[in-house]
Amino acid sequence: MNQAPVSPTATPATLPPRLAAMRSRIRAGEHRPLRVTDSIDLLGECEAEQLSWPLRVARLTRRMCEAQTVVIDHDERIAFTRTVKRVPEIYPPGTLKALLAGRTLHELGPISNLCADWGMVLGLGLSARRAVALASRRRLAADPAAVEFLDAAIETIDAVLALARRYAEAARQAGRADLAELLERVPAEPAASFHQALQSLRLCHAVLWLGGHYHCGLGRLDQYLWPYLEADLEAGRIDPAGAEELLAEFFISLNKDSDLYPGIQQGDNGQSLMLGGLRRDGGDGVNPLTTLVLRAAWAVALIDPKINLRVDRHTSLDLLALAVQLTRLGLGFPQWCNDEVVIPGLAAAGYALEDARDYTVAACWEFTIPGRGMEVVNIGAVSMPAAADRAIRAGLAAGEPFERILDRVAADLHDQVQVLATASRTLLLPPAPYYSVLMDGCLERGGDLSQGLVYNNFGIHGAASANAADALAAVKTLVYDQGRVAPARLLAALAGDFAGDEPLRLELRTEPPKVGNHDDGADALLVKLFDAFADACAAAGGNGRGGRFRAGSGSAMYYVWLASGHEGMREPAVGATADGRRRGEFFSSSLAPSPSTTVRGPLSVLQSFGKLDYRRICNGGPLTMELADSLFQGADAVAKVALFIRAFVKSGCQQLQLNTLNVDTLRDAQRHPDRHRNLVVRVWGWSGYFCELDATYQNQIIGRHVYGK
């Protein structure tokens, strides 16, 4: 067993003065004037040379690397600062449209929301990856597509190596022999120390973003970096405090360029990493680095990287308590993943057990396998409130029994999944030669990442499930079981957005069972919704890429879009619903009780959502709770929340996001943003600075139910 190098909670983690100053400079944006280049012109040469798509993407990576101005900050020990703001186009808009010819791109286009095999990249180095590409090129010389792909991949490798060389030379000239030595070695060669591994990772990861990729996950950081640290510790090259400082600097560096990353909102960048959990061989993956990462994140206290922690019933309370310190800071992470639920779920979905044990989150919450998953984890979402609402209105109008309404819900979900599945079959993934270098098998077989990997599933989310279950429960209870509400009255009220029948709206809102109270009257309907949704995904068959459709429980922005309508949604906005919700009011986010429900408490919420069969909804999507910050004021509070995490494991829930917030603080932040610039909230799969969010989202966060009083 490894000895923990530091006691997890012995002392609050703090930044040394050098890093405290660096953090302040970055938060103040002092590095932003270094961004001298707005955007480079690439289109001209791509057109003049009539480059193929793969070669255009490779050229993009190369030119972006070349256009970077080298920045060596005087006290930095991990280098790279992006200086080119925008990723340029590689096709004129008209040409791209013709190229797609009936196919569609996912979101912005470039491959996103994945996790590279960082352990492989750091362990081999890019020169070795280049040698693999050259060997494949010789072997596949007769295959022009393979040769073109491999040439493109080699061009990107050379671009990264040239960038590293320029950094090394500038470091020499600046009298920074230490940095120069690092960059003369990595990322070309295998990292030979913890410090080298972090530098290599920083550069290789940053170049992904330069090439237009986004939501680039960092994967199981404590697993793939531990061998380097372990060797350094044994050789006496570093001590735990030194390692913590390097990690903290690495984390600060991840916040430098994140304002340039694409996302719905600032902060929605998916720079996530995973800690702990089982190893591929089934052993416990928690190691001393797990602790150090948590401590470094505690000291840095910024929104990147977003920390995820895998837990099971054996996870020590010390480790949980340390992680809860991050929750207490109000960073919105760690996000907790229950190995006891996730691994069997992935195994049931066809993942090899070793791979299932190796899962991480792609970016927000969806599960993927580093280096082995070319999955599109959020191809779309079904609107559960729309399914329930259409079924209720049609069923009541036709005078049908309640069971028939449930049949209608299942058929509606089936239809919604079919529409998404059909649309997704036209999906076109653009070539990604550099990302291919970082994945398992692409260079070896001479085929681009966009052609697929071991796992090629698509994820569909079931959004706003609690509102849908509550609406069904209200109809079942008040109309069918008790006969208190006539169908015609409910139909009229729904059609008129409850105008003129406020008493009915209040009755619907307060009387029937609600999801979140461990009441089967509502929870059983939630279970039926997800069963029907999982059936629909299973019935959708293959996705045309060697994968299937995974059902999930996240909602991303859908909880707003489904309520108010959005061009990004196929489903129309839902009007007033039978749970007593007026038109336009938000739905629940991911897995959570409806925003208007007053629940008994967080344990009942765990028990409600613990009833779902997560083996059938393995795409991911967290149970989301806000804990009042007053909960953290007691002497034992951190230990109690650690026990709550253990209760989460026992409840059989899959994934948990805990926010800490104080409604008064949020209201004050709306009035006086200057006083709360660093106030962090987690909105869906990400944390963001509250003051930087649109007022709509600010109000939604404030309006969400606050657990504890």
Partner 1 sequence: MPDAMTGIVFDIRELTIHDGPGLRTTVFLKGCPLRCAWCHNPEGMTPAPQLLHSPVGDRWAGRRYTAPELAAILNRQAPLLTDGGVSFSGGEPLMQAAFLAAVLDRLEGLHVVLGTSGWAPEADFRRVAGRSDLVLFDLKLMDPEAHEAWTGVDNGPIQANLAVLASLGKPFIIRVPLVPGVTDTEPNLRAIARRVRALPEPPPVELLPYNLAAGGKYAACGLEWRPDYDEQARNQVNLQPFHELQLEVRVL
602 binds partner 1 (CB under 8 A): yes
Stretch that binds partner 1, among 100-108, 295-303, 525-533, 630-638 (CB under 8 A): 630-638
Which residue, chain included where needed, has tokens 């239809």?
Answer: 415
Q: How many residues interact with partner 1 (rule CB under 8 A)?
A: 25
Residue choice 548, 640, 676, 705 for contact with partner 1 (CB under 8 A): 640
To partner 1, the closest distance from the beta carbon of 25 in angstroms equals 38
Within 8 A by CB and 6+ apart from 24, the residues are: none
Within 8 A by CB and 6+ apart from 392, the residues are: 405, 471, 472, 475, 494, 578
**Complex with partner 1: residue 561 or 648, whichever CB lies closer:** 648
To partner 1, the closest distance from the beta carbon of 176 in angstroms equals 50
Stretch that binds partner 1, among 165-173, 476-484, 625-633, 666-674 (CB under 8 A): 625-633
DSSP sequence for 518-562: S-HHHHHHHHHHHHHHHHHHHHT-B-SSS-BEEEE---TTHHHHH
To partner 1, the closest distance from the beta carbon of 650 in angstroms equals 6
Here the tokens at position 625 are 């709770």
Residue choice 105, 145, 174, 647 for contact with partner 1 (CB under 8 A): 647
603 binds partner 1 (CB under 8 A): yes
Here the tokens at position 485 are 């509400």
**SS3 of residue 204 by DSSP:** helix
Which class for 148: exposed (0-12), middle (13-18), buried (19 or more C-beta within 10 A)?
Answer: buried
**Complex with partner 1: residue 352 or 603, whichever CB lies closer:** 603
Of the candidates 158, 157, 164, 235, which has an alpha carbon nearest to the alpha carbon of residue 194? 235
To partner 1, the closest distance from the beta carbon of 651 in angstroms equals 6
Residue choice 634, 664, 675, 696 for contact with partner 1 (CB under 8 A): 634
What's the start-to-end Cα distance of the chain, in Å? Answer: 43
643 binds partner 1 (CB under 8 A): yes
Q: How far apart are CA 140 and CA 147, in angstroms?
A: 7
Within 8 A by CB and 6+ apart from 2, the residues are: 230, 287, 288
Residue choice 265, 266, 316, 604 for contact with partner 1 (CB under 8 A): 604
439 binds partner 1 (CB under 8 A): no
**Complex with partner 1: residue 155 or 340, whichever CB lies closer:** 340
Residue choice 258, 651, 660, 687 for contact with partner 1 (CB under 8 A): 651
Let me know the angle formed at the C-alpha of 422 by 459 and 109, rounded to the nearest 5 degrees.
Answer: 60
Stretch that binds partner 1, among 141-149, 224-232, 459-467, 627-635 (CB under 8 A): 627-635
Residue choice 92, 500, 568, 601 for contact with partner 1 (CB under 8 A): 601
**Complex with partner 1: residue 95 or 604, whichever CB lies closer:** 604
**Complex with partner 1: residue 583 or 646, whichever CB lies closer:** 646
Backbone φ and ψ of 113, nearest 5°: 60, 45
Q: How far apart are CA 415 and CA 382, in angstroms?
A: 10
**Complex with partner 1: residue 42 or 649, whichever CB lies closer:** 649
646 binds partner 1 (CB under 8 A): yes
To partner 1, the closest distance from the beta carbon of 592 in angstroms equals 16
Other Cβ atoms less than 10 A from the Cβ of 1: the count is 5
509 binds partner 1 (CB under 8 A): no
Strands 655-661, 335-338: parallel, antiparallel or unpaired by DSSP? antiparallel
Tell me which DSSP letter residue 448 carries.
-
516 binds partner 1 (CB under 8 A): no
Within 8 A by CB and 6+ apart from 599, the residues are: 514, 516, 517, 593, 605, 705, 707
Q: Which residues bind partner 1 (CB under 8 A)?
A: 518, 600-604, 606-607, 627, 631, 633-637, 640, 643-644, 646-647, 650-651, 707-709
